Amino acid sequence: MGSHFSIFSSKGSQPLFIAAAMSAVLLFSTEGAWAVCQGPGAPANTQTKCLTAVTIPGNPLKSFDISWVNPLRAEYYLADRSNKGIDVIDTGTNTFKGRVGGGTFVGLVGGNNTSGPDGVVTHNRWLYAGDGNSTLKVFDLNGPATTPLQTLSTGGTTRLDEMALTTDGTLLLGANNAEDPPFATLFKANGDNAVSNVSVMTKVFVTAAIIPAGFGLSLEQPAWDPKTQRFYTSIPIIANNPAGCNYGQLAGKITCDGGLLVVDPTTLTNFTATLGAFDQNTNTGVVPLHACGPNGATVGVHDNLLLGCTPGNNPSDTTTLVINAKTKNYANIANLTGSDEVYFNAGDKRYYTGSSSNPGGAVLGVIDETSVVIETIPQGTGSHSVAADSRRNEIYVPQNANDVSGVAAGLCGGTNGCVAVYKHGENDGDDEDGDQGGDRD
């Protein structure tokens, strides 16, 4: 698949970049002949087994955010703040392939809310990434991919975070989660076009009765459901859920649960839109959740969404939740919580969670299609990002160089951080669209 990614061509100064990257890889493998996939993060008795670890050239991997896989291109993408770019791993060979936009993102500056890159998604040749200065950067993976073809402002001052694409790649919804009040931005995306022509369509707000301004409330990971033709975005905390709860307006711990924002992009005809309480007739608005303050969201089988609930939002929310996109019926899953990014793998029909705040330490959570926790596998401190290749049933979990537990060092074979690669079984699914989830029936 390397021919698709012409950052590896002989144009201009590209060979210097490749030589530096290859040198870093070789240095790691020869100088540090440490074994990878060792220690608590590589148990022998789990169904999901550590396969290898991919080192990331450049600065130690001390800060990263969201990750993504395009199985049709056999490429994994990681928002790497330490190196101010999007790292690319070849999922066919599990080797470092290159860095998109290296040096063009703001990197780790100030706090989490102003650092970048953040969210990342792809559709065929087009890669979209959010930055810490409230911009969307667009790259052509069939071109040099060193600088963005477009940089679009969402009008905020903090990061454009997690995002989701429609199946055909023509619409993109990104969460401006750190603005106060937060909002989502709907973009017209490139689809299968040969020329980039992305534009901002609508800024989507939630009514102040549900997300009051001035309390640092946010929007998190969106997901696209092709059956209901809606975007579903996690809201960690909403007001009056239940009535009289504390969302930050009172002293003491947070007692409000979160919600799920349902957006029909075909109804967004103005530059700004404000959605309120859930309307069953239009299947839009905010659905209040029970015992869940979610960060992550992903669409799985039978039109179910798995939400990454975490006690970091509400201390009493100690489960994970699955909710049906059509009926809004839900079930709480015990024995796993504290998730940030969550990812459905159509190849083995399992959900994988980056549960950095699970009690007892960070874990990779594994949940089957019936919403049963299969296993939890220890991960390094701060391990909150996860993505899966549905054609190869390989799961990618970045490990932080700042890990204090020692788990990351055992997985990586060193202390510079890495991307740990896990594998489960054989492929029994399909992923026709090349994006997250694929065939969910």
Fold of 2-423: Methylamine Dehydrogenase; Chain H (2.130.10)
Are the CB atoms for 109 and 117 separated by under 8 Å?
no
pLDDT digits (tens, 9 = 90+) for 392-422: 999 999 999 999 999 999 999 999 999 999 9
Q: Phi and psi for 278 in degrees, rounded to 5?
A: -60, 135
Q: What is the per-residue pLDDT for 436?
A: 53
Smallest CA-to-CA distance from 424 within 363, 372, 352 is with 352
Mean pLDDT over 417-440 rounds to 63
Say how far residue 147 (Cα) sits from the centre of its chain: 22
Sheet holding 342-345, edge to edge: 342-345, 350-355, 363-368, 373-378
Q: What is the per-residue pLDDT for 425?
A: 74
pLDDT digits (tens, 9 = 90+) for 70-104: 999 999 999 999 999 999 999 999 999 999 999 99
The full set of domain ranges for the chain reads: 2-423
Q: What is the per-residue pLDDT for 25?
A: 38
Q: What is the per-residue pLDDT for 5?
A: 39
Would you give the DSSP letter of residue 14?
H
Q: Check pLDDT > 80 for residue 314.
A: yes
**How would residue 426 be classed by pLDDT, with cut points 50, 70 and 90?**
low
pLDDT digits (tens, 9 = 90+) for 22-61: 333 333 333 445 799 999 999 999 999 999 999 999 999 9
Are the CB atoms for 201 and 211 separated by under 8 Å?
no
Q: Which residues of 139-160 are buried (b: 16+ CB within 10 A; e: fewer)?
A: bbbbbbbbebbbebebebebbb
Are the CB atoms for 228 and 283 separated by under 8 Å?
yes
